[in-house]
């Protein structure tokens, strides 16, 4: 199976966690896009979705799925999204698609984070995938200098402006041995909006697409 077929398999496998007549939290990226295709097949059984990006909103709307503002929803049963890396403690690196801030907000109001990934995303130690950080534009250089002190190599993601009007620094060459500590440290740098480490609030369930089928990890 190709990587995209594995992504499609987990996107459709996540449907079983969607409860009828609920609002569903929806992530961003190519795997989440397959989940949206799956969600469209049961669109008359759900109330709608809270979306983590303009791209996912456009796709959801194209299927006629109602979009709710996050401020109008107290909590969600599930948030379904992909990841760039996930370790065995269910900590993740996210933000390859630059939607990390809205993804983190929606995951914070969701009872369960269902992570959908192909098996190439499962790692023992996070950090091979450059860690994305969303930064207020005027703080870019300062934050980059602070990140350098943490032992990483921050690279400005040229030409990318997030849905919130900010920029992205990707930190290369990190070996993340304590994801919670690093998430807290980076969050405390002035000018950082969001770090793409999802460790304080990791996934509850991972659906991993493998050549032998979809594996469910709890």
84 labelled ligand-binding: yes
Q: Rule CB under 6 A: is residue 86 a binding residue for ligand 5RP?
A: no
209 labelled ligand-binding: no
Q: Rule CB under 6 A: is residue 94 a binding residue for ligand 5RP?
A: yes
Whole-number minimum distance, CB 144 to ligand 5RP, in Å?
20
**97 vs 154, which CB is nearer to ligand 5RP?**
97
Whole-number minimum distance, CB 130 to ligand 5RP, in Å?
11
127 labelled ligand-binding: no
- Distance between CA atoms of residues 134 and 156, nearest Å: 10
9-48 residues in contact with ligand 5RP (CB under 6 A) are 27-31
Q: Is 103 a catalytic residue?
A: yes
Among 49, 100, 126, 139, binds ligand 5RP (CB under 6 A): 100
Q: Rule CB under 6 A: is residue 99 a binding residue for ligand 5RP?
A: yes
| String of contacts with ligand 5RP for each residue 113-152, x by CB under 6 A | ----------------------------------------
Q: Which span (17-25, 96-104, 147-155, 179-187) binds ligand 5RP, by CB under 6 A? A: 96-104
Q: Rule CB under 6 A: is residue 84 a binding residue for ligand 5RP?
A: yes
94 labelled ligand-binding: yes
* Other beta carbons less than 10 A from residue 77's beta carbon: 15
- Distance between CA atoms of residues 104 and 198, nearest Å: 8
Q: Which residues bind ligand 5RP (CB under 6 A)?
A: 27-31, 81-84, 94-100, 103
Give the active site residues: 103
């Amino acid at each position: 199976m190709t990587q995209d077929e594995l992504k499609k398999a987990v996107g459709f496998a996540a449907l079983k966690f969607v409860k009828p007549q609920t609002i569903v939290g929806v992530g961003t990226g190519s795997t989440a896009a397959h989940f949206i295709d799956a969600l469209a097949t049961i669109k008359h059984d759900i109330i709608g979705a809270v979306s983590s990006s303009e791209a996912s909103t456009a796709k959801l709307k194209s299927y006629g799925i109602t979009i709710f503002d996050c401020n109008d929803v107290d909590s969600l049963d599930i948030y379904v999204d992909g990841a760039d890396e996930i370790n065995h403690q269910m900590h993740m690196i996210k933000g390859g698609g630059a939607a990390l801030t809205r993804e983190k907000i929606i995951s914070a109001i969701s009872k369960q984070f269902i992570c959908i990934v192909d098996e190439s995303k499962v790692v023992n130690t996070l950090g091979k995938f450059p860690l994305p950080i969303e930064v207020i534009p005027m703080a870019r250089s300062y934050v980059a200098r602070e990140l350098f002190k943490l032992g990483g190599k921050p690279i400005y993601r040229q030409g990318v402006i997030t849905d919130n009007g900010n920029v992205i620094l990707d930190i290369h060459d990190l070996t993340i041995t304590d994801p919670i500590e690093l998430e807290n440290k980076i969050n405390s740098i002035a000018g950082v909006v969001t770090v793409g480490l999802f460790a304080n609030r990791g996934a509850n369930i991972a659906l991993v697409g493998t050549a032998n089928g979809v594996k469910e990890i709890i």
